[in-house]
Amino acid sequence: MKVSIIIPIYNVAPYIEACIQSVFHQTYKDIEVIIIDDCGTDNSMEIVERIASTYKGKISIKILHHDQNKGLSAARNTGIKKATGEYLFFLDSDDLLPNDAIQNLVYQTTKHPNIDFVIGEIKTTGAENRSYPLLSDTYLESNEKILKDYLLFKWNVMACNKLIKREFIITNKLYFKEGLYHEDLDFSFRLALSANSMACSKTVTYLYLIRANSITTHKSLKNYNDNSWIIRNNLDLLYQNKQKLSSFIISFYAIETIYAFNLSLILEKNPSINRQDKKLIINELKTILPKCTSNNFNREYISSYIKRILLQIPFNFQVMLFNIYAKIKRLR
């Protein structure tokens, strides 16, 4: 079974050689590497051309060129359209694969033929070093279970480190939305919403580099606006599929996501986004809540959410908040 590994390239000269070599060192060899030149300004593609010209192994290499910079989503879409593998795997050009990564993921497809996608565990490197175990069962064959596990963060939202059936991607039109920040949140949600089967390899199959100057550590107003758009679009998709989903899933996603996003926005100390911008984004999201939840669910969930927040606050501060609350009650 051929696996197509799709690697977009844009200004990653310090990392790209190690990335590609980690693919060449895979124990599983029925692989085509699709490298997309997204018109960067450094010598990344010179390094790629040198590596490709000297490689003598069994893995095939396909290099594609954009005529101008189009972004990560467009590069991945180009790879999807040109891939010939039965399953696709997205690899970012500054990350690495353990030698047995593809072998371990493919093994799950032999246990569960025609599965929609397989996911492995992640280990971060660079600015953060930790492992992220998968909390889902080894095999799921229910769309609702897959979606619930996604909403409960039992499997990660990255587009990378997932072995996805190409036919499934094409049939469900799971292309990446171009020009969007946080495109993985959009892609993985639609993946969870569409999939009927999923398997987990309880081994580390991806080494994810966290860089200090990454898009997630230097947020602009576009980061927040795009994240808000994704939340609203995902809710639209849930409504379109509400016949096959429980009302709890829609309510849970709305409240968990909107309150968490608003809380992070309020607490974020970011000079690139002012108070008025924050207020506009929050008010826009707040209008969604009444449409998504019943009053009972809203009250019950908000109560449990506040309790969860309080558990993370130091005890002395909890006492102070309680005393303030008691005084307000007496004044009323």
pLDDT value at residue 81: 97
Return the structure tokens found at 9: 């390239």
Decide if 195 contacts 213 (C-beta within 8 A): no
Residue 269 to residues 197, 206, 220, 313, Cα–Cα distance (Å): 41, 31, 12, 19
Q: Residue 9 contacts by C-beta under 8 Å, 6 or more apart in sequence?
A: 16, 35, 36, 37, 38, 40, 44, 45, 48, 75, 93
The amino acid present at 78, given as its one-letter code, is T
Decide if 224 contacts 281 (C-beta within 8 A): yes
Residue range 244-259: average pLDDT?
73
Residue range 171-178: average pLDDT?
96
Return the structure tokens found at 34: 């699709």
Q: How do residues 268-279 score in pLDDT, each as one tens digit?
A: 777 777 888 878
pLDDT of 46 > 80? The answer is yes
Terminal Cα distance for the chain, rounded: 70
pLDDT value at residue 267: 67
pLDDT value at residue 297: 46
Q: What whole-number distance in Å separates Cα of residue 136 and Cα of residue 240?
A: 26
Q: How do residues 10-28 score in pLDDT, each as one tens digit?
A: 999 999 999 999 999 999 9
∠ CA 287-236-180, rounded to 5°: 95
Q: How do residues 110-158 score in pLDDT, each as one tens digit?
A: 999 999 999 999 999 988 888 888 989 999 999 989 998 998 889 989 9
Measured in degrees and rounded to the nearest 5, phi and psi for residue 295 equal: -60, -40
Q: What whole-number distance in Å separates Cα of residue 155 and Cα of residue 119?
A: 8
| Number of other residues whose CB lies within 10 A of the CB of residue 158 | 19
pLDDT of 328 > 90? The answer is no
How would residue 332 be classed by pLDDT, with cut points 50, 70 and 90? very low
69 three-state secondary structure = coil
Q: What whole-number distance in Å separates Cα of residue 62 and Cα of residue 34?
A: 5
Q: How do residues 107-119 score in pLDDT, each as one tens digit?
A: 999 999 999 999 9
C-alpha 327, offset from chain centre = 45
| Number of other residues whose CB lies within 10 A of the CB of residue 11 | 17
